[in-house]
Amino acid sequence: MIKILQFGDLHLGMENFGTIDPQRGWNSRFLDFLETLDQIIEIALSNKVDIVIFSGDTYKTANPTPTQERELAKRLNRLIKNQIETLLLVGNHDLPLSPTKANALDVFSALEVEGLYVIRKPMLFQSQKTPLQILAIPWVNKNFLLSNLKDANCINETAISLLTNIFNDLLDKARKNQKPTIALIHGSIEGAIYPNLQSTLYSEELLFPKNWFFSEPILYTAAGHIHKSQLITPSEILTRKKLLPFFEKPQLLKEKAIFYSGSPDFIDFGEEGEIKCVALISVDEKTKNIYLKLEKLSIKELKTVEIKLDKETDPTQEVIEQIKKEKITNTILRLKITATEHQKKLFRETALLEVVKECYFYAGINWQIEKTESKKIYNLEAKTDEELLKIYLKRKKLSPKTIEKLIKIYKEYCSKDVS
């Protein structure tokens, strides 16, 4: 069996929901991401994998800080010292704006460390440790590829045409070698789902045809770029609950499959509810069977608490009571509150801060303001005294119960025989 660990979209340097660590002076989310990477390294070592394949977007930007580079290098060094081949695919976040400048990973290839490889262009990689070959496609910038073309439709069509030729050439080489073959790509594949549930059909990015990766001799495709874990086969797409069996034990893949491992840690609230994981792939050299096992990562969860305020209660107290019912310890917490404009004005967020201090990070409130009816033009001369009183009390923004009580008192008073 050839054992592979797949992950991607690390985005080191992403500092959303972080604070400055007072001891080191680093952003707390940078420390979180390093802890997640440490988990991944431990999974690779404990499972004695032969190869680690990283599907792109190592850093947040193409200009990582020396600290970010050093901390990544330390962890890569653990893999190399344990004789684990490591492939780093270049993603869009790793590329500078200018095609003539070095990308964020070029420093590792310049060092020429045995067992560590940076893939910056489409190629058929031959493992030095196993019989495996990997058809690798890093991020393709169509504008750099076809800089002389101006028509957007023409760029897309021509880019796909050029890439089809490159892909087919690599497939032909792979077939001739007659070795177990997997693909590694950073990009959007037809049919894949983004974390915000928008299909790649609406994306302006270059879209790779799905059937490319179901071609012989590709057995399995490890994909990066989309932060939602998903398994794409010719017949279905498995996400969230449908992926749960893969966390329990290795599953034999009955069809060719593309797996987006997703980002190992949360980038934004568009990913809330996703299970963050890495993939362990086992390739049977004789039967060419593929077994997939997912390993869940222990990270800080995103949590949105939705509250619809009751018009009869104190808005601040109601929100506090609702939060006390939730498990918020060590979470990145966001509140989504539905209220009227008047309730929002009455709300005291300072009183809330004491309650949310047990969460890891308080990301604030997303207010959903209910639309109130526009003021009506009343024909006052046609109204009774009771109707006029109701109009007056409503304009004072009294609660329905209070208005009801006052109207009752008014009726009782009117019913008395006042001399």
Q: How confident is the model at residue 397 (pLDDT cuts 50, 70, 90)?
A: confident
State the pLDDT at residue 8. 98
State the pLDDT at residue 419. 42
* Among 248, 275, 249, 273, residue whose Cα is nearest residue 264: 275
Does pLDDT of 230 surpass 80?
yes
Which of 17-21, 298-302, 388-392 has the lowest average pLDDT? 388-392
Q: Distance between CA 35 and CA 52 in Å, rounded?
A: 18
Q: Average pLDDT for residues 3-21, to the nearest whole number?
A: 96
User: Which residues are within 8 A (CB) of 232 and not within 5 positions of it... i.e. 6 or more apart?
Assistant: 189, 191, 192, 210, 257, 258, 259, 260
Does pLDDT of 148 surpass 70?
no
Residues 66-75 as b or e (16 or more Cβ within 10 Å = b): eebbebbeee
In this structure, are strands 332-339 and 302-308 parallel, antiparallel, or unpaired?
parallel
Q: Average pLDDT for residues 404-412, to the nearest whole number?
A: 84
CB atoms within 10 A of CB 397: 10
Whether 234 and 189 have beta carbons less than 8 Å apart is answered as no
State the pLDDT at residue 98. 82
Does pLDDT of 377 surpass 70?
no
State the pLDDT at residue 395. 77
Does pLDDT of 61 surpass 70?
yes
State the pLDDT at residue 102. 93
Does pLDDT of 320 surpass 90?
yes
Total residue length of the chain: 419
State the pLDDT at residue 204. 65
Does pLDDT of 373 surpass 70?
no
Which of 46-55, 89-98, 144-153, 183-192 has the lowest average pLDDT? 144-153
* Local structure of 319: helix, strand or coil: helix
State the pLDDT at residue 380. 58
State the pLDDT at residue 381. 58
Q: Average pLDDT for residues 261-289, to the nearest whole number?
A: 96
State the pLDDT at residue 374. 47
CATH T-level topology, domain 2-296? Purple Acid Phosphatase; chain A, domain 2 (3.60.21)
State the pLDDT at residue 379. 60
Does pLDDT of 75 surpass 60?
yes
Q: Average pLDDT for residues 197-214, to the nearest whole number?
A: 76
Q: How confident is the model at residue 388 (pLDDT cuts 50, 70, 90)?
A: confident
Q: Distance between CA 271 and CA 289 in Å, rounded?
A: 32
Does pLDDT of 203 surpass 80?
no
Greater model confidence, 39 or 418: 39
Determine phi and psi for 52, rounding to 5 degrees.
-110, 125
Whether 106 and 96 have beta carbons less than 8 Å apart is answered as no
Q: How confident is the model at residue 25 (pLDDT cuts 50, 70, 90)?
A: very high
